[in-house]
Amino acid sequence: MNFDLRLPIGIMFSVFGVILVIFGLATGKDEMYAKHSLGININLGWGAVLLVFGAFMLFLTWRSSKKTPGPSSSAAASSASPDLTGKH
């Protein structure tokens, strides 16, 4: 079984990041930011952070899948040979 946890983590953070970036861009001129967050668009900033982290996780997943070769015949032959050491 070849399950890489970075894939669902990357997808989740990327989706949340895109949602926050879109919301931050849509509400960028809102008076709320001037009153409550010192004029900083928190949604846009943290959305970008989440998006970058999610993209990095997806990149690591893609890079790892390129390095992992398929099952080789030597690995199948070595697993089929009996254990002659007598240890279990």
Give a yes or no: residue 85 inside a domain.
no
How confident is residue 74, by pLDDT bands cut at 50, 70 and 90? low
HSE-up (13 A, CA, CB side) for residue 74:
1
Q: Specify if 56 maps to a domain.
A: yes
Give domain status of residue 3, yes or no. no
Between 9 and 82, the higher pLDDT residue: 9
Domains of the chain: total? 1
Counting every residue, how long is the chain? Answer: 88
Cβ–Cβ under 8 Å, residues 17 and 49: yes
Residue 40 is assigned to a structural domain of this protein = yes
86 against 39, higher pLDDT? 39
**Residue 27 or 16, more confident:** 16
Torsion of CA 62, 67, 73, 74, to 10 degrees: -140
In a domain, 70, yes or no: no
pLDDT tens figures, 17-59: 999 999 999 988 888 887 888 888 899 999 999 999 999 999 9
Q: For position 6, what pLDDT does the model report?
A: 92
